[in-house]
Amino acid sequence: MPTPPERRRRLAPEIAPVKVRPDPLQGRILLGRYRLATRIARGGMAAVYLARNVEDGTRAAVKVLRSDLALEIPVRERFLNESRAAGLIDHPAVVKVFDVGEIDDGRICLAMEYVEGSSLRRLVGKKPLSSDRTVLLASAIAQGVAAAHARGVVHRDLKPENVLLPRRAEDGVLVKIVDFGIARILDAPRITTTRHVMGTPQYISPEQAMGVAVDTRADVYALGVMMYEMLAGCLPFSSPDHEVLMRHHISSTPQPPGARCPEARIPPVLEDLVMRCLRKPPKARPSGMEAVLSVLAGL
């Protein structure tokens, strides 16, 4: 016999409404001039807010360290390193850092150029990009990284998530490179031991995976991985185990991207460049981003 509607209502469990805790940072003015609006991103160490400069009305992106990490010295050092490294570079393809400072609860925050758009990750890894588009994007990334290298800064964490694609490519600026948190400033004292592995396993250079000192050719390797992913629609190496993945970078030779995606019809010169960027010994790779750009310009 069916239960009467009144009894069904009485038997139904009462579900309390979910209370959404307000973000205590929204609406606050940080560093004396940046009023935080909406949170636009959140990662393992920090949250990023869209903000407006109360002095001139311009927009900015403000990255704020998590409160539970405020006293973690290595994390604080990474934040400060990001401001130091990015502050050395003046190039339209690199996001500018305007201000860095500490707020009242001890957290560090960075105020940066706001980029309206999405990351390169939205494009790659789903299906191959055309060779023409790969050359265009790789050239734009290489130009920004070359500017960093010219100032003695090695990014060490190049990956699609750290390349933003502005919605409006003003003045021909196609990309904006972000997150110099683990960048290596070549003439500065080390902030980590040489045996400390830093980087993202899918894009890490062999020398980074081994925990030894790196130079600008570590970024050449990472760009090679990114070009491979753009052309083939997949990474040169994949594994859910990061240790296995790093061992592949150290000792395994990947198939050429054309073998993984024959329908892509990759120009031999471009495929050769990608495979040279992925060579294990740094000295066997192109000598730097300028050498990479020279080949890309010919395409």
- Please name every residue paired with 260 in a beta bridge, in sequence order, or none if there are none: none
CA atoms within 13 A on the CB side of 99: 16
Q: Which fold has domain 29-113?
A: Phosphorylase Kinase; domain 1 (3.30.200)
Are β-strands 153-154 and 184-185 bridged in parallel, bridged antiparallel, or unpaired? antiparallel
pLDDT digits (tens, 9 = 90+) for 199-254: 789 999 999 999 888 999 999 999 999 999 999 999 999 999 999 999 999 999 99
The shares of helix, strand and coil residues in the chain, as percent rounded to the nearest 5, are: 40, 15, 45
Contacts (Cβ under 8 Å, ≥6 apart) of 260: 232, 233, 234
Catalytic residue status for 241: no
Q: Which of 161, 271, 266, 148 is nearest to 218 (CA)?
A: 148
Q: Tell me if domain 29-113 and domain 118-298 are identical in fold.
A: no
What's the chain's Rg over C-alpha atoms? 23
Residues 113-166 pLDDT 10s: 999 999 999 999 778 999 999 999 999 999 999 999 998 889 889 999 999 999
Q: Which fold has domain 118-298?
A: Transferase(Phosphotransferase); domain 1 (1.10.510)
Q: What is the mean pLDDT of residues 77-103?
A: 84
| Domain extents in the chain | 29-113, 118-298
Answering whether pTM is above 0.75, one says yes
Q: Pick the catalytic residue: 104, 157, 171, 241?
A: 157
